[in-house]
């Protein structure tokens, strides 16, 4: 049932092109760029008049929520709060019945996420679920569900469910933008066209970087610590890269916003520290290029202190190679879609390091697939 793969995790990493395609199909028109979210008790009017979106989730799903904030705020100009579901209830959240609660959960059974949903409902919010399991607890209490069609995920470390969540969030952001009138038809069509190219770009990455990640694992599997850096929407992917590595390889890893390094963590850098920097850009987007340039100066701060940088960069960026020890190239995409591509090499890097360290990648110690206690 591992379909020839050594582990479920590797199989599921390789299933991502299909998971992304299946999450998209039937929800977007590739002819008009329109998004259809059917079977919802949340109406377009609710989406139009919403005061904000409140996201609550745990772990990897929380990371997709952080990336979703950038998508929704940028496309639909609607404020988004992202909370750890385990924290939400305990801060006596301010009631706003016009806020729409968004629960992101692979299993739909996470106790903290269910508790946050009940808190949202008690304050009068409608709740929407992004969930990978049809009929799961969170979907039963929600007024609407976007099912991620990733298929069952067996590996404890979430991979294809995460990229399917990012896909669902992108589609939701587009839908909100369309009903709220913050996007033109031409922009919608362009973004939907770009979304349709993502599965084959993920296929390209799976083909082109697997061996490179295997080789990098040989070099770095004995490290005691890792840092992952990113800026803007790439920061949640840095967090996700760090989480994948720590949960399956047991190497201590931290994700950090690139610009925060000089406010403390630069003190950690020495010649033994691998630093994975997400340094991608959309060359057609000036704000993305600006972030990239700032990230390059953060990279130089790391190399000046002898840190060992592994950069994730877009194809055609040859310049960055001269600044860092290793570069992993991924195809170009609009900035809001880049996270789906960026996380794939980070999953493979964590996987190959964990295998080389002899860890049980599908069943890491102390972890359960579904966390049904608070």
Any idea which residues carry the catalytic annotation?
369
CB of 349 to ligand F6R, least distance (A): 15
CA-to-CA distance for 197 and 201, rounded, in angstroms? 6
User: Would you count residue 145 as binding ligand F6R (CB under 6 A)?
Assistant: no
Closer of 188 and 347 to ligand F6R (Cβ): 347
The DSSP element (H or E) to which 259 belongs, if any, is none
User: Would you count residue 106 as binding ligand F6R (CB under 6 A)?
Assistant: yes
Which of 22-30, 58-66, 292-300, 334-342 is the region at the interface with ligand F6R (rule: CB under 6 A)?
A: 58-66
Q: In the set 24, 54, 61, 127, which binds ligand F6R (CB under 6 A)?
A: 61
Which of 105-113, 227-235, 264-272, 276-284 is the region at the interface with ligand F6R (rule: CB under 6 A)?
A: 105-113
CB of 110 to ligand F6R, least distance (A): 3
Q: In the set 20, 53, 58, 173, which binds ligand F6R (CB under 6 A)?
A: 58
Please report, as residue ranges, which positions from 177 to 216 form the binding site for ligand F6R (by CB under 6 A). none
Residue 81, classified by CB atoms within 10 Å of its CB into exposed (0-12), middle (13-18) or buried (19+), is middle
Q: In the set 14, 23, 86, 107, which binds ligand F6R (CB under 6 A)?
A: 107
Of 113, 37, 68, the residue nearest 370 (C-alpha) = 113
- E-assigned strand segments in 167-244: 225-230
Q: How would you label 239-271 residue by residue, b for 16+ Cβ within 10 Å and e otherwise?
A: bbbbbbbbbbbebebbbbbbbebeeebeeebee
CB of 374 to ligand F6R, least distance (A): 12
Please report, as residue ranges, which positions from 306 to 345 form the binding site for ligand F6R (by CB under 6 A). none
Q: In what order do the strands lie in the sheet with 225-230?
A: 252-257, 225-230, 274-278, 308-314, 326-330
Of 233, 215, 208, the residue nearest 333 (C-alpha) = 233
Which of 28-36, 54-62, 184-192, 229-237 is the region at the interface with ligand F6R (rule: CB under 6 A)?
A: 54-62
User: Would you count residue 158 as binding ligand F6R (CB under 6 A)?
Assistant: yes
CA-to-CA distance for 43 and 360, rounded, in angstroms? 45
Please report, as residue ranges, which positions from 209 to 268 form the binding site for ligand F6R (by CB under 6 A). 243, 247
Beta bridge partners of 229: 256, 277
CB of 343 to ligand F6R, least distance (A): 11
Q: Token pair of 100, please? A: 């729409």
Torsion of CA 127, 120, 112, 235, to 10 degrees: 70
CB of 58 to ligand F6R, least distance (A): 4
Q: In the set 60, 178, 249, 298, which binds ligand F6R (CB under 6 A)?
A: 60
Of 335, 267, 332, 279, the residue nearest 309 (C-alpha) = 279
Closer of 305 and 357 to ligand F6R (Cβ): 357
Q: In the set 23, 24, 86, 105, which binds ligand F6R (CB under 6 A)?
A: 105
Q: Footprint of ligand F6R on this chain (CB under 6 A)?
A: 58-61, 105-107, 110, 113, 157-158, 243, 247, 370-371
């Amino acid at each position: 049932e591992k379909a020839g793969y050594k582990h479920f995790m590797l199989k599921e990493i390789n299933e991502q092109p299909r998971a992304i395609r299946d999450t998209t199909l039937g929800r977007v028109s590739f002819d008009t760029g329109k998004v259809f979210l059917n079977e919802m008790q949340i109406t377009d009017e609710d989406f139009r008049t919403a005061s904000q979106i409140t996201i609550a989730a745990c772990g990897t799903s929380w990371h997709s929520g952080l990336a979703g904030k950038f998508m929704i705020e940028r496309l639909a100009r609607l404020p988004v709060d992202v909370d750890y579901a385990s924290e939400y209830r305990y801060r006596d959240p301010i009631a706003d019945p016009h806020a729409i609660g968004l629960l992101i959960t692979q299993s739909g059974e996470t106790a903290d996420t269910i508790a946050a949903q009940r808190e949202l409902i008690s304050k009068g919010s409608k709740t929407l679920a992004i969930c990978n399991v049809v009929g799961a607890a969170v979907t039963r209490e929600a007024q609407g569900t976007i099912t991620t069609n990733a298929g069952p995920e067996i590996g404890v470390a979430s991979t294809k469910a995460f990229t399917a969540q990012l896909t669902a969030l992108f589609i939701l952001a587009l839908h909100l933008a369309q009903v709220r009138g913050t996007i033109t038809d031409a922009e919608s069509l362009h973004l939907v066209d770009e979304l349709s190219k993502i599965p084959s770009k993920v296929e390209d990455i799976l083909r082109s970087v697997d061996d490179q990640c295997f080789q990098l694992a040989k070099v770095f599997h004995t490290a005691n610590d890792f840092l992952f850096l990113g800026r803007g929407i790439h920061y949640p992917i840095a967090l996700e890269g760090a989480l994948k590595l720590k949960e399956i390889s047991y190497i201590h890893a931290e994700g950090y916003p690139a610009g925060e390094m000089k406010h403390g963590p630069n003190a950690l850098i020495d010649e033994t520290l691998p630093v994975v920097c997400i340094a991608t850009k959309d060359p057609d987007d000036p704000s993305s290029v600006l972030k990239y340039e700032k990230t390059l100066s953060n990279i130089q701060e790391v190399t000046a202190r002898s840190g060992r940088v592994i950069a994730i960069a877009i194809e055609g960026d040859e310049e960055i190679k001269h600044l860092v020890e290793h570069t992993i190239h991924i195809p170009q995409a609009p900035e809001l879609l880049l996270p789906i591509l960026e996380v794939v090499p980070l999953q493979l890097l964590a996987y190959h390091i964990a295998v080389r360290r002899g860890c049980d990648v599908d069943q890491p110690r102390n972890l359960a697939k579904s966390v049904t206690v608070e």
